Structure 1
Amino acid sequence: MTKLKWGMIGGGEGSQIGPAHRLGAGLDGLFELTAGALDADAKKGRAYARRLEIAPDRAYGDWREMLAGESAREDRIDLVTVATPNSTHFEITRAFLEQGFDVLCEKPMTMTVEEGEEIVALAEKSGRICAVNYGYSGYPLVRHMRAMVARGDLGQVRLVKAEFAHGFHADAADADNPRVRWRYDPAQAGVSAVMADCGIHALHMACFVTGQEVTSLSADFASCIERRTLEDDGMVSFRMTGGAVGRLWTSAVAVGRMHGLNIQVFGEKGGLRWAQEWPNQLYWTPLNETTRTLERGGPGLSPEADRASRVTIGHAEGMPLAFANIYADLAEVITARKEGRAPDPAATHTPRAIDGLNSMAAVYAAVESAGNGSRWTEVRPPSRR
């Protein structure tokens, strides 16, 4: 099989997210890193691209040069990943979609709801993929949770509790650290800090697992370090299209919490709980029965979980492998389109532009609610009401 050609914007040397993307995209041998504009410093970006064995004529100085160069080639890239600062996602994603490229954009997809609406409409009009990297949806047992809910194992879902809380911004003395400060600066981060950074991962997880969307919410935000303009802690109650109610806690000042992405789903027939820091175990409690531990890679899991499981049972499986499942899904959809066939249905659940739009609509609704005494607020973007 010929490898798909892959390009990357951002994610250069020293990047937090770049290595996870490169490991994930390369794991199955489905993609070859062919082009890149990897750093805001053109010289550094080109040098790093060469160390990654990208050909000199495809080691670009910036994304505009990359767009022009790849658009003019017969062997242009099949997929581009946008892993740049948040405020640039919309402009870059829009430009590549307009030129007919498939895109995987880091979250948040856009900085505003209006931008999200534009990207959704453009993706639909162009017929191109616009995926959004809610990468934790790639974990095998998260996909098994989704499958269990979809096939009715839990019955009607009543309640979802989601968390993404860490303590890495809890030191007030660190408030002027440039790596921290920008996250609480509206000019760089937008209208929200921890909700837009972490909370939307937990909220997307709730939607992904239950197959429901959020319709309304009530939010309470706090800036526990006083000099911060934007929130570093948030509590959100929400209601969903299928009747489920939800509770979300997100924080950057929870000292002692590390990654802190957890989800619990409670239905008529039982409950599930999973934590990203212990991804190999899913706890399933059928109604009036004892709790069972479902092991990743073990017998009796769903085809969705089996397809996503990559190492033998009992061994650790982490974030880059979850990312690899996102890339494998995209490769299957792109290849199926090239071959004129339907893709494997299990590969079609990758988060898309509509998920990015819904997430940004939830952020804006939470900001509005928190500023109005936690008043219940409509979440769905204008085009979805």
Structure 2
Amino acid sequence: MTKLNWGMIGGGNGSQIGPAHRIAAGLDGLFSFAAGALDHDADAGRAFGRSLGLAADRSYGDWREMLAGEAARADRVELVTIATPNATHYEIAKAFLQAGFHVLCEKPMTVTVAQAEDLVRTAAQAGRVCAVNYGYTGYALVRHMRAMVARGDIGRVRLVVAEFAHGHHANAADMDNPRVRWRYDPAQAGVSAQFADCGIHAMHMASFVTGQEVATLSADFASCLAGRVLEDDAMVNFRMEGGTVGRLWTSSVAIGRQHGLTLQVFGETGGLRWSQEQPNQLFYMPLGQRLQVIERGEGNLSPEADCASRVTVGHAEGMPLAFANIYRDLAETLNAAREARKPDPAKTLFPGAADGLRSIAAIHAAVVSAQNAGRWEDARPPMFR
């Protein structure tokens, strides 16, 4: 199979997310890192790209230069990953989609609902994939949770409890650290900080696993560090379209919590619990029976879990491998289209533009709710109501 050419915008030297994407895209040998505009400083971006092995003429100074350069090539990149600050996602993603490139955008996909709806339409009109990197849905046991819920192992889902709390922004001395400061700056982050940055991962995972979308929500936001315009802690209650009740807590000031992404799903006949910090175990409690521990890589799991596992049982798999499953899903989708065949349904679970849109709508609904003492708001985007 011929490798797909892949390019990246953002994720430069010192980036938190850039290395994870580069490891993930290259892990299965399905993509070749061919082009990049990796830094807001043009010279630094070009130099870093060359240090990673990019050809000098494909290590670009900015995304516009990359768009023009790649569009003119017969061996142009087929997929472009956007890993830049939130406020830039929409303009870059739309430009590349309209030029015929497939896009994987970091979350949040945009900063406004109107922009997100426009990207959904743009991708459809262009006939191109616009994926959103809710990368934690790539974990094998998250996908197994989804399969267990879908086949009725825990009965009708009654309640889902999600958390994404850490304490890495709790130090007031870091207020002016550029890697922290931009997340609480409305000009760069949009209308929400912690909920848009981390909480939305947990909310999307709740939808991914239960197969239900969020319909309404009620939110309480707090800025625990004086001087922050946007929230660093949030509690969100939500109701899903299938009747499931949802509870979500997210925080960046929870000292002692490291990553803190967890999901619990409680149904009529059983419950499930998974934590990103211990991703190799899924805890399953059937009603009236003993607790079972499902291990990643063991036999008799779902096809979705089996094909998302790369190493034998008992060995740790981490976040870059979960991201790699998103890239593998995208490669399967793009190759199937090129080969005029149906893609493997167990390998096409990547979140799309519609998921990104629903998340943006939920973010804006939560902001309005928090500004109105927790008033319940419709969390659905207008185009899906």
TM class, shorter-chain normalised?
over 0.9
Q: Deviations over 1:168-211 (max 9, x none)?
A: 11122322323222221212211111001000000000000001
Which deviates more, 187-196 or 272-281?
187-196
Q: How many residues align?
A: 385
User: What is the match of residue 206 of structure 2?
Assistant: 206
What are the ranges of 5 or more consecutive residues in structure 1 without an aligned counterpart? none
Q: Report what 1:12 is aligned to.
A: 12
Read off the aligned partner of 2:168 and give its amino acid letter.
F
Equivalent position SS for 2:307: helix
CA deviation string 1:3-36 (max 9, x = no partner) = 1100111111111101000100101110000111
Shift of residue 334 of structure 1? 0.4
Query: Is it true that 1:240 corresponds to 2:240 in the alignment?
Result: yes
1:179 aligns with 2:179: yes
In structure 2, distance between residues paired with 1:18 and 1:171: 25
Report the Cα distance in structure 2 between the residues aligned to 1:303 and 1:297, rounded to whole angstroms: 11
Equivalent position of 1:66 in the other structure: 66
Asked if residue 371 in structure 1 is aligned to residue 368 in structure 2, the reply is no
One-letter amino acid of the counterpart of residue 348, structure 1? T
Q: Report the 3-state secondary structure (helix = DSSP H, G, I; strand = E; otherwise coil) of the residue aligned with 1:206.
A: helix
- Distance in 2 between residues matched to 1:56 and 1:178, nearest whole Å: 29
Aligned to 2:316: 316
Tell me the equivalent position of 1:100.
100
Cα deviation 1:72-96 (Å, max 9, x = unaligned)? 1111111111111111110000000
CA–CA separation in structure 2 for the residues paired with 1:363 and 1:219: 10
Moved more, 172-181 or 200-209: 172-181
For residues 32 and 192 of structure 1, what CA distance do their matches in structure 2 show? 35
* Secondary structure class of the residue paired with 1:28: coil
| 1:130-209 matches, cutoff 5 A | 130-209=130-209
The residue number in structure 1 matching 2:261 is 261
Q: Residue 328 of structure 2 aligns to a residue in which SS?
A: helix
In structure 1, give the amino acid aligned to 2:58. R
Equivalent position of 1:32 in the other structure: 32
Worse-matched range after superposition: 26-35 or 169-178: 169-178
C-alpha contact (below 8 Å) 2:307/2:347 kept by paired residues: no
Distance 1:102 1:302 in 2: 29
**Hey, what's the Cα distance between the residues in 2 that align with 1:99 and 1:140?**
34
Shift of 1:219: 0.4
Structure 2 unaligned regions, length at least 5: none
Check if 1:356 corresponds to 2:356. Answer: yes
Cα distance in structure 2, aligned partners of 1:17 and 1:373:
35
Partner of 1:345: 345
The answer for the alignment partner of 2:223 in structure 1 is: 223
Provide the C-alpha distance between the structure 2 equivalents of 1:187 and 1:98, rounded to a whole number of angstroms.
26
* 2:98 partner amino acid: E
Q: Is the 8 A contact 2:80 2:103 kept in 1?
A: yes
User: Residues 14-63 of structure 1, C-alpha deviation per residue, up to 9 Å, x if partnerless?
Assistant: 11101000100101110000111111111111111111111111111111
Aligned partners of 1:18, 1:73: CA distance in 2, in Å? 25
CA distance in 1 between counterparts of 2:307 and 2:46 reads: 36
Separation of aligned partners in 2, 1:15 and 1:351? 23
Match of 1:289? 289
Who is 2:124 aligned against?
124
SS at 2:8 equivalent: strand
Q: Which amino acid aligns with 1:160?
A: V
TM-score by length of 2: 0.99
Structure 1 residue 67 displacement after superposition = 0.5
- Cα deviation, 1:205-253, whole Å, max 9, x if unaligned, reads 0000001100000001111112211111000000001110100000011
**Counterpart AA for 2:177:** N
Query: Are positions 1:271 and 2:250 aligned together?
Result: no
Partner of 2:76: 76
Secondary structure at the counterpart of residue 95 of structure 2: helix
Deviations 1:307-364 (A, max 9, x none): 0001111111000000111111100110011111111111222000011100010000
Letter in 1 for 2:293: T
Inter-partner Cα distance in structure 2 for 1:371 and 1:351: 29
* 2:90 corresponds to: 90
Deviations 1:276-323 (A, max 9, x none): 000000000001111100000011210100000011111110000001
Determine the C-alpha separation between the residues in 2 that align with 1:233 and 1:330. Answer: 33
- In the alignment, what sits opposite 2:251? 251
Measured in 1, the distance between the counterparts of 2:173 and 2:330 equals: 43
Give the 4+ runs in structure 1 shifted more than 3 A.
none
Residue aligned with 2:279, SS: strand
Contact 2:326–2:349 (8 Å) recurs in 1: no
Query: What is the alpha-carbon distance in structure 2 between the residues aligned to residue 51 and residue 175 of structure 1?
Result: 32
- Counterpart of 1:279 in 2: which secondary structure? coil
Indicate the larger mover: 176-185 or 297-306: 176-185
Distance (whole Å) between structure 1 residues aligned to residue 212 and residue 100 of structure 2: 30
